[in-house]
A and B are shown apart, each in its own frame.
Chain A
């Protein structure tokens, strides 16, 4: 070993003399871990300008310099490497690319269902994402994942989904579409199914007395739906849906911006229910046959410079439903006793426009003018009963917004004008009515910018059938401590009941119609009047670093006058004005929490106490669950390249419902005094492939609960005991659906 050292030294010296070349190859790893040469990489001695570059194969050769010891290898886009040169062949030198950290976007979405701490009213805001959680073909189905609103089915034949708030039916609610009264009068029962879910941008649900701006009719709440806006909506949207009962839905939206201030949208919805389904074998269809074409053209104008905004809409709808016995053929069996059947044909035209002006120099001051016209024509027969209604409605509202002194004191004032004509024919008996009203309103909003705000509104109306009257409404918010708000409200509402349009299911029975009028203006009946009072409390907090919100609210509605709909005699349905008391108490407790990352729980318990003095005594409202327990679970996976999975599960547990008295029926057609309580489970899975495309599948009523004997005396539909109106649960069993959405 010792002897070899001088030889080695000699050899090195010799090499030095002959200009030792240091050689090597510069390489990189490709994405699939293969080695790839780097041409034109710079190779130079540290702290010198002596250097070379690699050839096309990544090879380099550089003369050895004993005064420099370190070689630097560099190339654009790679981390430079510094090597200690201790041998002539450096072999493979791997350069690693400079890792460019991609921008990390920390995103937390606002929950699709929002309860505000700061709004004066008790409002739940629902955005369009919430509507993707269920099949949500139309507005009536868009509340399935929302506990504030209760959805029930009107009867075993029509199958129309109706909604309730605070234990009161939908006529006591005010519906507005973009703040203009919509589902009312003739469209009360089916109107919710005339607003396609995919047109809706968001829904605001206000509990308790609404605002005076929208009129005097609302008693238990106000539901406003905002439709998508041509300027901001996707350019193109397509949705197809189908379920295992041959229900198909088609939705498309096309938007075009003519200029950056003027946009136009064309929205089309069509649906078809083609399945003759009779799973409970009672010879009656479990779900209606229907078809609908719904078309809307909207124009939107915005000019931020001069402060003008405007909308114009035209909507046309044609809807046909056929229900009844499987063997019913409308061509041959209409209005005969061959088979029991029914057809409901609706044509509706809606025209509306909105014009707004914000004073460019005074951002707190604005004008708004809304005007709407609709014509609703329904021609229908139910077995041997015939019912036609033609409702023309005109609405206009002028609002001026400004301040008193400063933006701490805001006010809205204006006038409104409505004109409605109803032409109804019930088994050839005509009922015609015209409603005219003119009203003025003033609403003051105070905000102390710390913890107290309130809205006090008053309107005065002159109405040809309701007389002259005041409508007060008041809402208050007080923040007790951090992230907690207490709210209180009261208000009065007044309306005339459209007894036939609101209770159309009565025609699908052998009940006799009795109107016990006292000479009032509405079918001989007096108008309905009620006070609503509410208290609510909400606390938001961080629990283990995740947001939790807890809220509790209690509302009471006291009727001063009501048109009582009395189903207690199985031979008849009678309408009469309330004598005595009628009230509704409703309690709701909500808990929303993100259990795990992106895994949300929404749980609600509701308790109802709705009692009315009937002619036969004080009774609970029929078909009203005494409680409801609601759980919604939602999980979304992390977005990767805009693709994601979404899972949604909803369960409802509905308490016992009092059934109308059937004790006078023969034993076989008698029902117990209370229904059983039952559960309904819905679930949906959505796979988002990209921003443009997503596919969903889901199931409704997965646990397959159906009501036994939904139709009394189904075998003899023209006999005395036929009645399809006592429905407390679904008729249709489990249903599965699939669909996709494509948007650009």
Chain B
């Protein structure tokens, strides 16, 4: 057991506390430095995480470092890093910056604990740490009523979901006598399936489904993404959402063993409803943040296809799409933040800064942002060469090959629905692209602030880079999937 493997978490925890402490000591003006410190810490922790392959457990089997945890940690840290870089400008001269950066770092640590959780309790603790921090972050613009509303709704539904999840966990403990995931797995392999097991699984699905924003546990998501500060929306949609997925990957293998085929049907229904609902509702949105929220719901629907077949390749596909989505959606929200900045610099009291009409002529007004957003949209729609394409390709391919090898028609039908959904999504992305490049601009060209540009370009590099050279990440995702020990 070497604590070096936990260095990224330790580093971020210490840094979070340090940032809050430094904030107490320095004047409001010099707090701008905290953003840079946090970004540097996250970058260092990202390098540490990429550098280690893991293969060890900690604290009486409560945490495990394995390829699955590592790839999700990379996602979480990368998203936080992008959000922090952009926040350097977004929260410039805000006197509560110390709390803001401290919370982001703690939220990241929480998500990383979830990724590493090998025990239902450590999972729950990580989940709550991340959730509590993000509840506050969502309401960080105290004077803005819609930010407060966003935070409150998020908090209420979040608490309800936590309760459901905790209830599910207690039932699992009740039947198996353990909270350790491998031990529970061993128990379920031999035990008879009972009604309690099913109840437990449904509660767990509901708890994770809240974070993943699967329909019908998604209701909070559009309101929260819309109302929160845009950089926080980026963190929520691109990062904390993935926490639900990694938790589900870790725990729902149990469900697969416990209730076998039945849970597949549940996920098939959830996946199809979620992707279709997300895409259909996204079409009629006027607010781009809401549109992105629904598109994010749709993406969660695609990713949950991984649970439907639960083969190594499908899980790898899910992980890949989660990774790609982190860059595409994170970047897209940051680009919307630039538009918000642009609108506010035109008119200080502007409302609805993310209304689609503000995107008219963006190609002329903010060319880097517009081009990047163009890239993110095409990637979200799954057009090659992009991370979105690679993820969807591997995922759909895995479901198709499973359908062929088990000769099951309904799996094929699901793939067809997923592909039709991808096609449908192009409609609302293309509409924004039309606004950006065809319609005349409403004002002069603006100066795009450097922190935004850096963060957005990093996201573009991630999106396109994975699309152009997918081999290493595919290998990482396959390794991660092999940890779960399915087929």
Our verdict on whether A and B bind, yes or no, reads no
B positions within 8 Å CB-CB of A? none
A positions within 8 Å CB-CB of B? none
